[in-house]
Each structure stands twice: as C-alpha cells, then as structure tokens.
C-alpha cells in the first residue's frame, strides 16, 4: 500500500464517530520521506476548525521549543505530525477529553510501515508516552521527561506545550532551562542528517 492510499483511508475513518462531538475530521500529516515524527494527543477545537495540526498557542510554543518556523514545521517531506488520535474528542471539565483509544492501535502501525525514514519521534504529553513507551515510562510525566536520554535514539518525551500547563512549567523550570537546548540539538541533527549515525548522543 502506498502512503497516499493509507492517508486517504485514515481521512475517511469514522471508527469512533458515535462518540465525537462533531463529524469526524482526521487531521495528520505524513510522508514516506519524513525524518522527524511528532506525536501529540488529539486535535483541539481550533485545529479541528482549521484542519491544520498545532495551529494554536500550543503549536506556537512547541515550535519555539524546537527552534523552527512554521514553514519548516509544516514541511511534510521532513516532518510528520501524527497525533495519538486524529479527531477532536470534545471538551470536559478539565480541558479536552482524552484521545479515542482505538485510533493509535488501528492506524499508527500501518503508518510506521510506510515511514521508513523516521529517525526521531517526539512524544508530546502523557497519552503519546503511554502508547509508545508503555512500561518504560517513569512514575510521573516530569520523571519521564527528565529521563529523556533513556529513550534515545528513538524517542524524546516532552510535556504538552498547552497554556494550561503553565503551573507544570513553573514547577519544572529545569525543562526550559536545560532540556529544550538538548531537544533543539537532536531535532536539528535529525533534520539535517544524511544517515542515522549522524544523530548526536
């Protein structure tokens, strides 16, 4: 199966339509040549409305962490954006609801089978880390992010850049003071490298 065919199938998916607040609108970007994969949780309301992933304040902060502009961020030939679930799940008392649990196990393995050039996957938030790291996660999000070197060269765990996480950022100032610089080095190496061995450890 070609990745274009797979993406068309995903964008027509209605697997959890009966639980969504709106009609399904799967939002993702991927290509066979992408080297960096960004896995978040699920599109928010604004992303659902525009159809553009990370098109919100969370995306602005994420791009700042990565030190890349919008043009580079949305270059599908180099960067794939594949959330844990592809559709906006609706909101609850404490923010957006969790991603639909069927989405990642149904589609992510098929996407990975078509994305052979991925060199690094950013796991943004607890849902992405739960799916990809499983029992390798630490007891808390902070502990998982602080142990980022344990997951290289495949994964780099991150907190979610949502404005709702201001308190977490304040309590864990070490992240932006020291980890972000290392994140930028890893991302730059992956996007510029010609071979997997070029990635600094």
> If pLDDT is split at 50, 70 and 90, which confidence band does 196 have?
very low
Provide the angle, in degrees to the nearest 10, between the axes of the packed helices 57-66 and 180-192.
80
> If pLDDT is split at 50, 70 and 90, which confidence band does 80 have?
very high
Mean pLDDT of all residues in 86-110: 92
pLDDT at 64: 98
Mean pLDDT of all residues in 80-93: 93
Does the pLDDT of residue 103 top 60, yes or no? Answer: yes
Least confident of 25-29, 127-131, 140-144, 189-193: 189-193
Question: How many angstroms separate the most distant Cα atoms in the chain?
Answer: 46
- Structure tokens belonging to residue 136: 């390798």
Indicate if the alpha-carbon torsion angle 49, 54, 60, 61 is positive or negative.
positive
Which CATH number does 3-198 carry? 3.40.470.10
How large a percentage of the chain has pLDDT more than 90?
A: 91
> How many CB atoms are closer than 10 A to CB 148?
18
DSSP for 105-157 reads HHHHHHHHTT-TT--EEEEESHHHHHHHHGGGS-SSHHHHHHTGGGGTTTEEE
Mean pLDDT of all residues in 59-85: 98
Evaluate whether 25 touches 88 at the Cβ level (below 8 Å).
yes
Does the pLDDT of residue 194 top 80, yes or no? Answer: no
Domain boundaries, the chain: 3-198
Does the pLDDT of residue 106 top 80, yes or no? Answer: yes
The predicted-structure confidence for 108-165, as pLDDT tens digits, reads as follows 999 999 999 999 999 999 999 999 999 999 999 999 999 999 999 999 999 999 999 9
The predicted-structure confidence for 153-171, as pLDDT tens digits, reads as follows 999 999 999 999 999 999 9
Query: How far is the C-alpha of 39 from the C-alpha of 37, rounded, in Å?
Result: 6
Provide the angle, in degrees to the nearest 10, between the axes of the packed helices 3-11 and 103-112.
170
> If pLDDT is split at 50, 70 and 90, which confidence band does 91 have?
confident
Does the pLDDT of residue 198 top 80, yes or no? Answer: no
> If pLDDT is split at 50, 70 and 90, which confidence band does 193 have?
low
């Amino acid at each position: 199966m070609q990745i274009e065919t797979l993406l068309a199938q995903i964008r027509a998916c209605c697997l959890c339509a009966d639980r969504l607040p709106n009609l399904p609108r799967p939002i993702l970007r991927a290509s066979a040549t992408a080297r960096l994969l960004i896995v978040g949780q699920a599109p928010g309301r604004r992303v659902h409305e525009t159809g553009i992933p990370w098109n919100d304040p969370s995306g602005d902060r994420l791009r700042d962490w990565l030190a890349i502009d919008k043009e580079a961020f949305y270059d599908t030939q180099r960067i794939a954006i594949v959330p844990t679930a592809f559709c906006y799940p609706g909101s609850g008392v404490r923010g957006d609801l969790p991603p639909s649990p069927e989405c990642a196990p149904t589609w992510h393995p098929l996407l990975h089978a078509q994305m052979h050039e991925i060199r690094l996957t950013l796991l943004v938030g607890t849902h992405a880390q739960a799916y990809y790291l499983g029992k390798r996660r630490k007891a808390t999000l902070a502990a998982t992010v602080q142990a980022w070197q344990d997951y290289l060269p495949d994964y780099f765990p991150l907190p979610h850049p949502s404005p709702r996480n201001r308190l977490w950022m304040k309590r864990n100032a070490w992240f932006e003071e020291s980890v972000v610089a290392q994140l930028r080095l890893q991302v730059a190496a992956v996007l510029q490298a010609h071979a997997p061995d070029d990635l600094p450890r």
